[in-house]
Structure 1
Amino acid sequence: MKYILLIFFFALLCGCQTTSPEPGITGDTEYTASDPEYGFVPHKPIKLGGFLRGSKYEGSHIDYFQSLTGPNGEPVEVNRLGSCCPFEDKSMLFGGGMLDKYELSYQGQKKPVTIYVNLYQFESPKAPQGFTLL
C-alpha cells in the first residue's frame, strides 16, 4: 500500500509540470493594453497607485516595473524623468496630483519611449503596447 501511495504522489508531481515557466513572454497579449495611447499620453496614464506609504497598493509601482519586459521578454531599463502634468481629482486629499514620466528602453529597441504614470490612483495595470508583463 505504501508503494502505491508513493507512485500516486510522484504521478501528481509530474502532472503539475505543464504550466509555462514564463507567462507573458509566449506572445500572450492578455497583459498588454489594447489602446495604443495607454501610458504614452498624459490623459491616459498607467495608474499604479501605491506611492504613498501605508496605502493599499504600496510598492505596486516597483512590482510593475520589475515585471515589465520587451515584446520578446527582453529586460527593460527604466529611467525616471521627473514629475509633470498636474491633474485634478476632488477625491484626493489635495484635490489632485502630478504624473511622473519614465523612459523605457530594451536592447534592440530603435529608440526609448516615454510613459506617463499616476502614482496616486490605482487601476489594474497593463503593459503599454510594445511591452508585456510577466
Structure 2
Amino acid sequence: MKKLILSLVAASIITACATQKQGTGSNQGIGDTRTTAVEHLDDRTYKLTAHADDKTYGYEQKNAIKVGGAREQSGPLNERRFLNALLGPNGEAVGYYREGSCCAFDTPNGLFGNAGMLDLYKVYWEGGTDTLSLYLNMYDKGDLLIPVGFTAREE
C-alpha cells in the first residue's frame, strides 16, 4: 500500500511538472539576485521599504517575488513574512491564502534537481473590491519590493 501511494504521488508530481513546464520562458531560472540585505520588523514580518516600479512584479509568473529559503527549510515562512509585511493601498490590514503551487521553472536552488514551483497566493483587504493574485518564489532570493497597489507595515 505504501509503495502504491508513493507511486501515485510521484506520478502526480511528474505530471504537474510536465504540464506546468510549458510556457516557462520566464526570468525565474536565473537564481539568486538579491543585492540588499533583508530586514525584519519581527520574526514573522519582513521590513519592506522600497516600492516596485514594475507593475508585473509579483503579479506575473515571469516576475515572481523571490523570497528564497527553500534550501534552509524556511521557504513557506519567508512567503508569509513577505505577505505579513503588506498593507492595502490606504494602509488596510491584508488577508491572504495560498491557492496552490504552479508554474515549474529551472533554478540552481531547486530541491529536486534544478526545478522549482511558484506558490500562488490570493491577497485581499477590507473594503477592497478585488482579490489579487501574487506569485512567490521560495527557491531564489531577490530584492524584496512592495508590489504596485500595496503599502507596507512600518512597525
Q: Tell me, in whole angstroms, the C-alpha distance in 1 between the residues paired with 2:141 and 2:79.
A: 10
Q: Tell me, in whole angstroms, the C-alpha distance in 1 between the residues paired with 2:73 and 2:135.
A: 23
Relative to 1, partners in 2 of residues 1:92 and 1:129: Cα closer, same or farther, differing over 3 Å? Answer: same
Residue in 2 aligned with 1:129?
Answer: 148
Task: Give the share of equivalent positions with the same residue, in percent.
Answer: 35
Relative to 1, partners in 2 of residues 1:35 and 1:92: Cα closer, same or farther, differing over 3 Å? Answer: same
Is 1:81–2:127 an aligned residue pair? no
Which amino acid is 2:103 matched to? C
Which structure 2 residue ranges, 5 or more long, are not aligned?
Answer: 1-48
The question of whether the paired residues in 1 share the 8 Å contact of 2:66 and 2:137 is answered with yes
* Superposed CA offset, 1:12-67 (max 9, x none): xxxxxxxxxxxxxxxxxx53211001111100000011244456x78332221111
Q: Tell me, in whole angstroms, the C-alpha distance in 2 between the residues paired with 1:54 and 1:47.
A: 15
TM-score (norm 1): 0.69
TM-score (norm 2): 0.60
Relative to 1, partners in 2 of residues 1:59 and 1:92: Cα closer, same or farther, differing over 3 Å? Answer: same
RMSD of the TM alignment (CA)? 2.2
Relative to 1, partners in 2 of residues 1:58 and 1:103: Cα closer, same or farther, differing over 3 Å? Answer: closer
Which amino acid is 1:38 matched to? Y
Deviation at 1:85, TM superposition (A): 0.3
Q: Tell me, in whole angstroms, the C-alpha distance in 2 between the residues paired with 1:92 and 1:74.
A: 35
- Alignment size in residue pairs: 105
Which amino acid is 1:88 matched to? D
Deviation at 1:71, TM superposition (A): 1.2
Relative to 1, partners in 2 of residues 1:91 and 1:60: Cα closer, same or farther, differing over 3 Å? Answer: closer
Which structure 1 residue ranges, 5 or more long, are not aligned?
Answer: 1-29
Q: Tell me, in whole angstroms, the C-alpha distance in 2 between the residues paired with 1:106 and 1:130.
A: 12
Q: Which has the larger radius of gyration?
A: 1
- Name the one with the larger helix percent: 2
Q: Tell me, in whole angstroms, the C-alpha distance in 1 between the residues paired with 2:104 and 2:78.
A: 21
